[in-house]
């Protein structure tokens, strides 16, 4: 694509940075594929490599030579400091974990430079949160009342754990960044450089160009496929948007709507398996749930998201009288043959096959990178040495912000793990929600939105999940406990535990009961003892599903800052391409991405992620119908113009379709939707005038 080509041409102009970026990528591939270094050292190399790339790539274009020299000095200082500390690790342990003067200097310099480089790439938000967190554990936490009081640790202990701890700067989060996250960003860069992006857009044109709303559907398909490999909604918008947005405007779509479609579809790319912008691998690492299980159950929700955007696009096209262009275009199969589809399909198929076979994500990504190079020779764009170097450099450049953020976020994760404040916040979320799961989801959505204004999606997901996932899992399991009581199927051991812990002796816990009584019984349990009851009452498989649902809810809601004003960088990027006002484009993207806020409630209240297709497919069908109805409500169009009373009726139907209730209610609501569509199509209750469409349905 032109945007991507311009990017790697720009990379080549900075010869030293270009070479360093390529070297950083090669080193990561080598140590991930061969295992020639282990322990903290891959993360140390990761930090050093991206420290220098940050100095080179970030900062104002008119930065003086003096400032560049200062930042080079900072990168050198951090390099020497981190090398000193980890070369001195054995000596530190030999002294009984006591730091020498030089260790102190190196540690303080390392943290200070890491904070400054993070500020340089992502702004003040994360460094400010880190300083507050370190201050809490070191000093001012002892002055807080109640559960937030923390007596404090010695500065030596804080510094040691911040750097050498499993939850510190070079611990588990940094390992995620230096291993599979880095490998998949490089893999995405190879796909882009091989011309896969051009193939995706061309395939989308031939597949959807002749349908109602074809140009908008092209954006949905191409952005969805590109987004799953790019790892960034903003980068996806910048690359595919330069083609799809002009197409939509030329077809007759309003510029704001065109920008909204591209932004919403690009955001959805992070939800689409098999890669999910590397989010699936982070989630697998966090939850210890197999990657294959995550991507299998994530497919239907992601499809639901894109179908919702497609519904908006189709209805808006019919409302605006946009008709499809009838041209004799090549078939999708011919496009695949001529445009190099093999360089996209073969590596993706190999990647999925290796992951299903059981190979680790890191090794799978490495072999998939090799497959891109080999399969590119079956396309019009064979990758030679220069193209391979372009892809390596582009992969490293795309990783700079994320790498530094994930390393410095380790400082916050370490504070949370050290103080136990994550459990405190989880307890507070449960209290604030009053046992109501939907309130907890709203609170988490707000937290994700605020953090997402200054963070990439993965970083926001990690931070929110660290604090909120346990609370969300507990509330989901609490709902399951209520269901067991309603059905009268509570295990005997759980009945005894419930009677003992909650002093509940006036109710037959083995018999079915009303929802109100069941909720009252669970509400009477002491909050601090409720987890004990849940561990006994809830089957381990159901508890695992609750954990997966909690993380998937947070992961989906972490995307909302891309499309939700006031700060929605993906929508603003699309607005710049569409040459329209940023905020209206943001509002349009927010409207189109409605599934982003609805589907998480399905994760919470239904077995949508259970992996049981007999349960998941009916949920999918009814939810798809509900979201189509919701799109019609927002658009004001079904087959023809919808008068206000019909829009209100349609809104009620949408709620009934998606609400977790009896099957006969869902079937009745679906029948009502079909009946309303027939009435609208026949022109009944449709006012005559300019709003009435003559387009065929």
Residue with structure tokens 């952005």? Answer: 223
53 and 147, same domain (yes or no): yes
- Please check whether residues 63 and 167 belong to one and the same domain: yes
Q: Is the pLDDT score of 45 beyond 80?
A: yes
Confidence bin at 377 (pLDDT 50/70/90): confident
28-40 burial string, b = 16+ CB within 10 Å, else e?
bbebbbeeeeeeb
Average pLDDT estimate for 561-579:
81
pLDDT at 507: 81
Lowest mean pLDDT among 35-39, 247-251, 608-612, 675-679: 247-251
Give the pLDDT mean for 89-101. 92
Q: What is the model's pLDDT at position 666?
A: 93
The answer on 628 and 537 residing in a single domain is no
Looking at the fold, whether 532 and 625 belong to one and the same domain comes out as no
Average of per-residue pLDDT across 20-44:
93
Least confident of 77-86, 108-117, 256-265: 256-265
Examine the pLDDT at 90 and tell me if it is beyond 60: yes
With respect to residue 480, please indicate whether it lies within any of the assigned structural domains.
Answer: yes
Q: Please state, rounded to an integer, the average pLDDT across all residues of the chain.
A: 83
Phi–psi pair at 341, nearest 5 degrees: -65, -25
In a domain, 188, yes or no: no
Res. 84 pLDDT band, cuts 50 70 90: very high
What total of structural domains would you count in the chain?
3
Specify whether 101 is located in the same domain as 9: yes
Closest of 436, 415, 416, 414 to residue 424, by C-alpha: 416
Highest mean pLDDT among 159-163, 269-273, 424-428, 515-519: 159-163
Looking at the domain assignment, is residue 478 inside a domain? yes
- Residues 17 and 154 occupy one common structural domain: yes
Which of 158, 177, 196 is a domain's end point? 177
Which pTM does this prediction carry?
0.81
Q: Is the pLDDT of residue 693 over 50?
A: no
Residue ending a domain, choose from 155, 177, 199? 177
Predicted confidence (pLDDT) at residue 528 exceeds the cutoff of 50: yes
pLDDT confidence tier of residue 568, bands split at 50, 70 and 90: confident
- Angle among Cα 334, 306, 234 to the nearest 5 degrees reads 90
The whole-number average pLDDT for the span 445-453 is 76
Residue 250 belongs to a domain? no
Residues 625 and 550 both lie in one domain: no
Residue 262 or residue 685, greater confidence? 262
Cβ neighbours of residue 233 closer than 8 Å, sequence gap 6 or more: 227, 263, 266, 267, 269, 270, 277, 457, 559, 562, 570
DSSP 322-388: -------PPPHHHHHHHHTTHHHHHHHHHHHHHHHHT--HHHHHHHHHHHHHHHHTTSSS---HHHH
Cα of 41 vs its chain's centroid, Å? 28
Decide if pLDDT at 565 tops 90: no
The domain in which residue 21 lies consists of 2-177
Q: Would the pLDDT of 59 be above 70? A: no
Same domain? 164 vs 32 = yes
Residues 549, 627: one domain? no
**What's the rounded mean pLDDT across residues 2-22?**
70
If one compares 352 and 369, the residue with the highest pLDDT of the two is: 369
Across 36-45, 84-93, 502-511, 548-557, least confident range: 502-511
Q: Which of 127, 147, 177 is where one domain is finished?
A: 177
Are 683 and 640 within 8 A, CB to CB? yes
The three-state secondary structure class of 682 is coil
Q: Which of 56-65, 363-372, 579-588 has the lowest mean pLDDT?
A: 56-65
Residue showing tokens 């064979």: 382
Task: Give the pLDDT of residue 12.
Answer: 65
Rounded Cα gap, residues 547 and 531, in angstroms: 14
Say if residue 89's pLDDT is above 80. yes
Judged by average pLDDT, the poorest of 96-100, 157-161, 217-221, 663-667 is 217-221
Say what percent of the chain tops pLDDT 70.
87
- 547 and 620 in a single domain? The answer is no
Span 458-503, pLDDT tens digits: 777 888 888 889 889 999 999 999 999 998 888 888 888 888 877 7
Q: pLDDT, tens digit, for every residue of 100-124?
A: 999 999 999 999 999 999 988 878 8
Q: Which residue has the higher pLDDT, 145 or 127?
A: 127
- pLDDT, residue 201, reads 66
Among candidate residues 314, 368, 302, the one with its CA nearest the CA of residue 616: 302
At residue 1 the predicted structure's pLDDT band, cuts being 50, 70 and 90, is very low
pLDDT one-digit tens code per residue, 604-644: 999 999 989 999 999 999 999 999 999 999 998 888 888 88
Verify that 24 and 97 share a domain, yes or no: yes
Q: What is the mean pLDDT of residues 258-285?
A: 82
Question: What's the rounded mean pLDDT across residues 62-72?
Answer: 80
Predicted pLDDT of residue 81: 96
Over residues 667-690, the mean pLDDT reads: 81
Of 239-248, 300-309, 514-523, 624-633, least confident by mean pLDDT is: 239-248
Q: Does the residue 241 lie in any domain?
A: no
- Examine the pLDDT at 457 and tell me if it is beyond 50: yes
620 occurs within a structural domain: yes
How sure is the predictor about 85, in pLDDT bands with cuts at 50, 70 and 90? very high
**Per the domain annotation, does 580 fall within a domain?**
no
Q: Are residues 619 and 549 in the same domain?
A: no
Residue 213 lies in a domain: no
- CA distance linking residue 385 with residue 645, whole number of Å: 64
């Amino acid at each position: 694509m032109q945007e991507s080509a311009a990017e790697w041409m720009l990379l080549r102009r900075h010869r030293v940075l270009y070479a360093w970026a390529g070297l950083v990528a090669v080193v990561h591939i080598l140590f991930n594929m061969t295992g020639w270094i282990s322990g903290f050292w891959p993360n140390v190399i990761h930090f050093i490599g991206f420290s220098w790339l940050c100095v080179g790539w970030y900062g104002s274009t008119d930065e003086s030579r003096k400032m560049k020299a200062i930042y080079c000095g900072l990168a050198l200082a951090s390099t020497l400091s981190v090398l000193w500390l980890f070369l001195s690790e054995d000596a530190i342990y030999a002294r009984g974990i006591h730091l020498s003067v030089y260790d102190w200097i190196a540690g303080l310099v390392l943290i200070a430079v890491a904070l400054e480089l993070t500020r340089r790439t992502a702004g003040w938000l994360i460094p400010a949160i880190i300083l507050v967190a370190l201050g809490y554990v070191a000093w001012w936490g002892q002055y807080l009342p109640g559960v937030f009081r923390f007596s404090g640790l010695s500065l030596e202990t804080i510094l040691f754990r911040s750097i050498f701890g499993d939850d510190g700067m070079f611990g588990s989060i940094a390992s995620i960044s230096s291993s599979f996250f880095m490998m998949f960003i490089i893999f995405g860069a190879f796909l882009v450089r091989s011309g896969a992006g051009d193939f995706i857009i061309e395939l989308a044109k031939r597949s959807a160009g002749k349908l109602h709303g074809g140009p908008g559907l092209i954006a949905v398909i191409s952005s969805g496929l590109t987004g799953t490999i790019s790892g960034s909604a903003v980068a996806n918008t910048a690359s595919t948007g330069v083609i799809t947005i002009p197409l939509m405007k030329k077809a007759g779509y309003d510029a704001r709507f065109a920008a909204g479609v591209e932004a919403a579809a690009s955001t959805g790319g992070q939800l689409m398996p098999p890669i999910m912008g590397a989010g699936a691998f982070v989630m697998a690492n966090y939850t210890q749930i197999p990657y294959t299980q995550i991507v299998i159950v994530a497919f239907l929700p992601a499809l639901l998201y894109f179908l919702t955007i497609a519904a908006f696009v189709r209805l808006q096209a019919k409302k605006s009288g946009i008709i499809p262009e009838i041209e004799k275009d090549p078939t999708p199969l011919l496009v695949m043959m001529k445009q190099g589809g093999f360089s996209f399909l073969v590596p993706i198929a190999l990647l999925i096959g290796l992951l299903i076979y059981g190979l680790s994500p890191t090794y799978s990504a490495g072999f998939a990178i090799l497959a891109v190079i080999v399969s590119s020779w079956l396309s019009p764009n064979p990758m030679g040495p220069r193209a391979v170097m372009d892809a390596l450099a582009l992969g490293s450049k795309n990783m700079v912000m994320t790498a530094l953020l994930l390393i410095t976020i380790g400082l916050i994760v370490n504070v949370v793990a050290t103080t136990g404040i994550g459990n405190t916040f989880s307890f507070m979320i449960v209290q604030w929600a009053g046992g109501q799961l939907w309130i907890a989801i709203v609170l988490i959505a707000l937290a994700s939105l605020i953090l997402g204004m200054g963070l990439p999606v993965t970083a926001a997901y990690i931070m929110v999940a660290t604090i909120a996932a346990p609370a969300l899992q507990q509330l989901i399991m609490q709902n399951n406990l209520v269901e067991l009581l309603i059905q009268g199927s509570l295990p005997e051991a759980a009945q005894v535990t419930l009677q003992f812990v909650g002093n509940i002796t006036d109710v037959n816990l083995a018999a079915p009961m009303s929802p109100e009584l069941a909720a009252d019984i669970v509400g009477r349990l002491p909050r601090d003892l409720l987890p004990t009851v849940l561990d006994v009452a809830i089957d381990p498989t159901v508890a695992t599903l609750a954990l997966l649902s909690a993380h998937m809810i947070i992961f989906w809601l972490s995307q909302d800052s891309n499309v939700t004003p006031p700060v929605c960088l993906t929508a603003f990027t699309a607005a710049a391409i569409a040459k329209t006002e940023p905020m209206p484009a943001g509002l349009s993207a927010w409207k189109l991405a409605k599934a982003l806020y609805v589907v998480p409630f399905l994760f919470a209240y239904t077995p949508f992620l259970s992996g049981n297709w007999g349960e998941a497919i009916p949920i999918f069908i009814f939810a798809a119908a509900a979201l189509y109805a919701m799109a019609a409500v927002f658009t004001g169009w079904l087959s023809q113009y919808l008068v206000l009373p019909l829009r209100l009726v349609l809104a009620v139907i949408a709620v009934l379709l998606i609400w977790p209730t009896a099957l006969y209610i869902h079937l009745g609501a679906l029948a009502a939707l079909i009946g309303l569509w027939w009435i609208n199509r026949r022109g009944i209750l449709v006012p005559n005038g300019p709003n009435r469409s003559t387009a065929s349905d």
